[in-house]
Amino acid sequence: MTMTQARSEAATETPSGRLYLDDLHVGQRFASETHTLDEAQIKEFAFQFDPQPFHTDKQAAERTFFNGLAASGWHTAAITMRLNVESGPPLAGGIVGTGGELSWPAPTRPGDRCRHPLLTLRG
Amino acid sequence: MTMTQARSEAATETPSGRLYLDDLHVGQRFASETHTLDEAQIKEFAFQFDPQPFHTDKQAAERTFFNGLAASGWHTAAITMRLNVESGPPLAGGIVGTGGELSWPAPTRPGDRCRHPLLTLRG
């Protein structure tokens, strides 16, 4: 993966540098680094986990619902996790969840830049 | 990925072999193949997308929340997609979604076998 550094605006500093749930407050924002997707990455992930023509074959993808190559939604989800781990809130114990909701409102194309700013919504 | 064949119980056959939404009915079940995860796969995915000790380092993982190596939830989600594409309902146009809900009720460990039977809930 190609990670390009983006401005960090971690809003909370603790002596250990790690955050506990008590350190989070509603409205707190965390920036993330940026990841640029390219055709090779899109195809590599798709051949392994989501082998459908709109994710694996640029020409065939033009004749599909997507009208062109698009990243698997599970690929962009996985990249989001990477961005969270590397530049999201430095949670003590790690970033662990038991589930959640996902939404893919638009296709992600080769050349698109992904980032994942986080906002604390509930205390 | 190592895919082991499982019994297929695709409940609907159409002349084209592809299913359209009209071909689905509530209560319809689709089996899936089985995928067996191992330590190497868990680490490979995690180094790329979820580099946290409980996913990348067997010994360090024993001192974490997970008490041992566990697959990234995004890894099991991606495997689920692969199982859907390869042995789920053969939907005409492909398997495409705009979002959904995820739940990871228990860790997935090396040696665990994943499968993903599908049930049509709404028409």
Give tens-digit pLDDT for A34-73. 999 999 999 999 999 999 999 999 999 999 999 999 999 9
* Residue B61 forms contact with A (CB below 8 Å): no
A13, A90 in Cβ contact below 8 A?
A: no
Nearest to A47 by CA among A78, A72, A76, A73: A72
Which of B51, B86, B104 lies closest to A85 in CB terms? B51
Q: Is B105 on the interface with A (CB under 8 A)?
A: yes
The better pLDDT of the pair A79, B100 is held by: A79
The model carries a pTM of 0.87
* B102–A50 C-beta distance less than 8 A: no
Residues of B within 8 A of A42 (CB-CB) are none
CA-nearest residue of chain A to B50? Answer: A82
- When pLDDT is cut at 50, 70 and 90, the band that residue A114 belongs to is very high
Contact A74, A42 (CB under 8 A): no
User: Structural domains in chain B?
Assistant: 3-94+108-119 (3.10.129.10)
Residue B69 C-alpha, separation from nearest chain A C-alpha, in angstroms = 13
Torsion of CA B41, B112, A42, B89, to 10 degrees: 150
Specify the 3-state DSSP secondary structure of A107: coil
Rounded Cα gap, residues A116 and A81, in angstroms: 9
Does B5 score more than 50 pLDDT? Answer: no
Contact A100 B101 (CB under 8 A): yes
Is the pLDDT assigned to residue A13 strictly greater than 70? no
pLDDT in tens, B28-70: 998 889 999 999 999 999 999 999 999 999 999 999 999 999 9
